Amino acid sequence: MFTGIITDVGIVERVDEAGNLRHLRIACAYPAESLMPGQSIACGGPCLTVVRCGVSGAKSWFDVDIGAETLARTTARRWHAGTRLNLERALKIGDELGGHIVTGHIDATARIRAVADFDGLRKIEVEVPPDLARFIAEKGSIALDGTSLTVNGVSVRSLSVLLIPHTIKVTTWGERQVGDELNLEVDLMARYAARLTQAGWEEAREKSL
């Protein structure tokens, strides 16, 4: 589990293909002694497992394996040497929950429709996949590229978020442009609320038949 609060920006150093599996090495600023195989790290949104780790020069690195399902459903299929990724370590008991509960399980990818800068802020409009629109509400939470953000506005086909200068500075959001593809994860609580509502409606319907 994660919070959507980005703690580092990693850089993909190497991508190796192995059939339906893709091996990546990601350089980061995390202390080498704090990394170990088996750990979960959210990389650009998807939760990935560290399989190897070490140090090269002044930078730490960790390796991850990405399977066919993740490649098909996320932007990971487009990652290459030089790609910068928002990173977050897994939540520990006692850690501050500064964002919202994020699983690292991506629901869909979405594209940026518009970017507007004003007063040091950045407003980004993102397309909404039709089957996920019911899980998104104004002032609710959304995870985009692993970042916990508040939905500023929502319509049938899009949502907008407002980024403060700090977020722009410490994440990859300062690089984002119109047309860029993002990893999108809806709020877990919204998903369960929708399911409970649906289950209640189905039960009521069955009783009426």
Give the CATH number for residue 62: 2.40.30.20
Q: Which of 26-30, 33-37, 97-101, 119-123 has the lowest mean pLDDT?
A: 97-101
Q: Are residues 113 and 57 in the same domain?
A: no
Residue 209 lies in a domain: no
- Count of structural domains, the chain: 2
Average pLDDT over residues 21-30: 97
Q: Which of 37-51, 60-74, 179-193 has the lowest mean pLDDT?
A: 179-193
* 43's tokens: 């990389």
Q: Are residues 49 and 78 in the same domain?
A: yes
Residue 209 pLDDT exceeds 70: no
Q: Are residues 185 and 156 in the same domain?
A: yes
Average pLDDT over residues 161-168: 96
Neighbours of 180 (CB within 10 A): 17
pTM value? 0.90
**Residue 87 pLDDT:** 98
Give the residue, 11 or 137, on which the prediction is more confident. 11
Residue 201 lies in a domain: no
| Percent of the chain scoring above 70 in pLDDT | 91
Q: Are residues 20 and 85 in the same domain?
A: yes
Residue 99 lies in a domain: no
Residue 2 lies in a domain: no
> Can you give the residue range of the structural domain that contains 116?
108-194
Q: Are residues 131 and 184 in the same domain?
A: yes
Q: E strands within the chain?
A: 8-18, 21-28, 40-43, 47-56, 59-66, 84-89, 108-118, 121-127, 141-144, 147-154, 158-163, 181-186
Model confidence at 203, pLDDT cuts 50, 70, 90, reads low
Model confidence at 188, pLDDT cuts 50, 70, 90, reads confident
Give the residue, 201 or 2, on which the prediction is more confident. 2
Give the residue, 189 or 169, on which the prediction is more confident. 169
Q: Are residues 77 and 137 in the same domain?
A: no
**Residue 206 pLDDT:** 60
Residue 197 pLDDT exceeds 70: no
Residue 59 lies in a domain: yes
The residues facing 124 across adjacent strands are 115, 161
